[in-house]
Structure formats: structure tokens, C-alpha cells
Amino acid sequence: MEGSVKNTIKLLTFSIAMTASLGAYAEVYKHTDAQGNVSYSDEASPGAKTIKVKPVTTVTLPKPDEVPQMVEDSKKKQEQDQGKAYNRVSFDAPENNSAFHSGNGDVTFAVSSSPALLRGHEFEVSLDGQPVGQNASGQFTVNNIDRGTHNASVKIVDSKGKIIQSGQGISFTIHRPSVIN
């Protein structure tokens, strides 16, 4: 009897392994002989009963040389998705193509986004191609700007300074008294 139990355990282990490897469409048959020994097979035999086997979930892993490209593609998609996080990034003040007087040359920029900034993101304002500041409040004061026409741009950057999204730039003219006139 003890040998019969060992054989049954071996057979059961084999049948489980076989069942796992058969896939969703294979049929498994269970047969019990006159001595009560159970056997499993993929071939029908007289008196065998068909057993329903659940499909085995399989995962196909990528080849090692494909992984770097998959990681790069995933990063690009994430960057594109982040870039779509904002419907609008723009200047609220000064207005585009505006002209105004500033005796001391100070200009306060107000910028905003829709929706509001996500955690870890900041606005970055540049004046004539040079960054003048980063913050999450959207208020930037630049002192002593020369008279004349200037261009400003706004971007949203992450905590590492990486550009998430750029907004529409503006142009403005400062009228400022000079020593000559």
C-alpha cells in the first residue's frame, strides 16, 4: 500500500506538471484502475473521465537586448503624457505687444497654467533668452530692465529642471526716461 501511495503522489505530481504545460486546449483524462490507483493522461482510455483544466497564465519576457529600447520607449511616452498635463501655460501680465512706462525698469510677470501646477513642477520665466527665475507662485519681478522691446517666455519644469511644457511667449516695450532726454 505504501508503494501505491508513493506512485500516486508521483503520478499526481507528473499530472499537475503535465496539466500546467498542456495549455488551454488540451484535454486531460483521469482513470482509476481496479486497485484504486489514479492515473492521468492526454489520451483517452476505456473508463477514463475528461477533466476540465483551467488555462495556465503565461508571460512572455522580452529578450535582454530588447529591454533598453523598451525602457527608452516608455520614457518617451511618459514625457509625452506629462507634456499633455497642461491645457494652457501663459502670461497674465504684461500683455503681449504692450508698451508701458517703468521709471526704474522693474517689470512684474504673472504666469499661470490650466490646470494648476502639479506637485514638483514650477514655472520658469526667461527674458530675452536668459532665465530670470523659477517658482510655483507664478509671480516674477525683474529689476532694472533696459528700455526698448523685449521678449519673454514661460515654461513648466520639473524638480530636475527638465522642461515639461512651454507656453506662448510675449513681446513688450518699456518706455523709460534716460539721462540724455
Residue 93, strand partner residues: 110
All cell numbers assigned to 43? 489520451
The average pLDDT across 68-88 equals 75
Q: Give the pLDDT of residue 80.
A: 63
The average pLDDT across 151-175 equals 93
Give the whole-angstrom CA distance, residue 89 versus residue 96: 14
Residue 32, strand partner residues: 38
Question: 179 pLDDT exceeds 60?
Answer: yes
The more confident residue out of 82 and 33 is 33
Angle at alpha carbon of residue 111, lines to 108 and 117, rounded to 5°? 140
6 — pLDDT class (breaks 50, 70, 90): low
Q: Give the pLDDT of residue 81.
A: 59
Give the whole-angstrom CA distance, residue 13 versus residue 56: 16
87-175 sits in which CATH class?
Answer: mainly beta
Cα dist from 8 to 2, 3, 51, 145, 160, whole Å: 10, 8, 17, 90, 62
Angle at alpha carbon of residue 123, lines to 121 and 127, rounded to 5°? 150
Residue 36, strand partner residues: none
The average pLDDT across 59-72 equals 86
Question: 73 pLDDT exceeds 70?
Answer: yes
Give the whole-angstrom CA distance, residue 125 versus residue 160: 16
Per the CB < 8 A criterion, the answer to whether 109 and 94 are in contact is yes
For the chain, give every domain's residue range. Answer: 1-72, 87-175
Angle at alpha carbon of residue 171, lines to 168 and 176, rounded to 5°? 150
Residue 171 is classified by DSSP as E
